[in-house]
Chains A and B, each alone.
Chain A
Amino acid sequence: MAKTHVSTTINGEPVEFLCEPQQTLLDVLRDELNLTGSKEGCSSGDCGACTVIVDGSIVCSCLMLGAEAEGHKITTVEGIAEGEKLHPVQQKFLEHAALQCGFCTPGFIVAAKALLDENLNPTEEETRYWLAGNLCRCTGYDKIIRAVLDAAAVMRGENPPSPAA
């Protein structure tokens, strides 16, 4: 079985890999490239734990073949922070304790970052609909939504009080 050679860009860096035809992008990220931040939850596109950004759109990396990555620009959760500096969404997830087991968190962070790239002033309803493809079985979602709305405020230059204060 012939492997496919793929040249792509991941988190701003050119990356080349070989993959089997049936390997998903998620398989490639985790098993070939050691980018294990993207999680495998359902493998059927329902849970969003494997969410990555491809050319500006969020997709489930379990529903894309590795071979399809050729020529595209991919951002994973590992590419959200700038070096040691957390993205506002990540910072607000910490401040709000918007996670418990943490398994769904990478997918939420990536999806929320993509929302705020597109819309710095989403309503709560827009935020809840946008994140409807990310399932969390621990938190009840409320802290996640608060964290994203607060991150949006920070990115708009406002200074929302920390929830712990």
Chain B
Amino acid sequence: MPSLSFAAPTSVDEAVKILAGASGMAKVLAGGTDLLVQLRSGRLKPELIVDTKRIPGMLGIREEANQFVIGAATPGTMIYESEALTRAWPGIVEGMDLIGSEQIQGRASLAGNLCNASPAADSVPALIAARATAVIAGPNGKREAPVEAIVTGPGQTSLQKGEFIVEFHVPKPKPHQSDAYLRFIPRTEMDIAVVGCGVNVTLDGAGTCTDARVVLGAVAPTQVVANEAGAALIGHKLDDDTLAKLDAAAGRACKPINDKRGTIEYRVKVAGVLARRAAAIAFDRAAKR
């Protein structure tokens, strides 16, 4: 790295100007838990690193009337210490909390996990399931996009030159709405998802599902919104027939690869099982509020 430079702007405008003005590869630094590993290994050779954490609003969680505003660089420790967010969206918090060790949690952020663009990113499915949006700053001002519009393939995002995510907007839950995230790994801690599944459901007073989003991770080049699986829940309680339809639809939404973590057949099977289990948790939580 003969000519790496570092900048730590203190405003969004300054950061956009620096990022947009870079002649070579510029990387945004939030927690750095992926970026610094890629830098060290030589996989990435940026000319510029822009630390965004000194920009007001990038760290921390704010509660507004209808939504939570989560700073893009907010680390896992701040997310799981937020009682309000944990109460509102336990699935989003448990997804983030599954990432790495306590040391990693001290740094790793939602925007970093999203923009690293791994299909297995644990914090992403539940965010998408909650219909969260990302606010993106860039040379043409700010724009807002659904979280599922950010990742376009492994390691690839739809962010343009000079753009970076400043915050996430997560709507507050409606009555009888809740979520859950489960991932499968062959041990108990610190591994990369073989399959991940976020489920977000809204029930009526009688426990019948009126709205549902099922989002799968690690089973395709990007996170998958399994529309058919969500639709299988709507209009139903969580009976055996509904669970079987959910399971089958989740499996059909998968376009996985064979790799050392699992085969195609295995991932399809596990996606169905996780969808059933995550739905059961989300229904239970939704019924209790």
A interface list, Cβ under 8 A from B: 1-2, 4, 20-22, 24, 43-45, 48, 51, 54, 57-60, 62-65, 67-68, 70, 111, 129-130, 132-134
Contact = CB atoms under 8 A, between A and B. Distances in A.
A133 B5 contact: no
A21 B8 CA distance: 11
A64 B40 CA distance: 12
B227 to A, nearest CB: 36
Contacts of B36: 24, 45, 62-65
A20 B1 CA distance: 11
A67 B100 contact: no
B101 A1 contact: no
A63 B32 CA distance: 6
Given A45-B33, A133-B190, A58 B102 contact: yes
Contacts of A20: 4
B104 A133 contact: yes
Nearest to A51: B103
A60 B103 contact: yes
Contacts of B8: 67-68, 70
Nearest to B77: A57
B167 to A, nearest CB: 20
Interface residues of B, number: 31
A45 B33 CA distance: 7
User: For the complex, would chain A's binding face be called helix, strand, loop or mixed by DSSP majority?
Assistant: mixed
B53 interface: yes
A58 B102 CA distance: 7
B107 A63 contact: yes
Given A1-B4, A2-B5, A58-B106, A63 B49 contact: no
Contact of B39 (A22, A58, A70, A132): A22
Contact of B103 (A43, A58, A70): A58
B160 interface: no
Given A21-B4, A133-B102, A68 B51 contact: yes
Interface in B1-60: 1-6, 8, 29, 31-33, 36-37, 39-41, 49, 51, 53
A2 B75 CA distance: 29
A84 to B, nearest CB: 29
Contacts of B37: 44-45, 63
A65 B51 contact: yes
Nearest to A67: B6
Contacts of A21: 4-6, 49
Given A2-B5, A133-B104, 20 more contacts: A1-B2, A1-B3, A22-B1, A22-B39, A44-B37, A58-B103, A59-B107, A60-B104, A63-B31, A63-B32, A63-B36, A63-B37, A65-B36, A65-B49, A65-B51, A67-B6, A67-B51, A68-B8, A133-B190, A134-B101
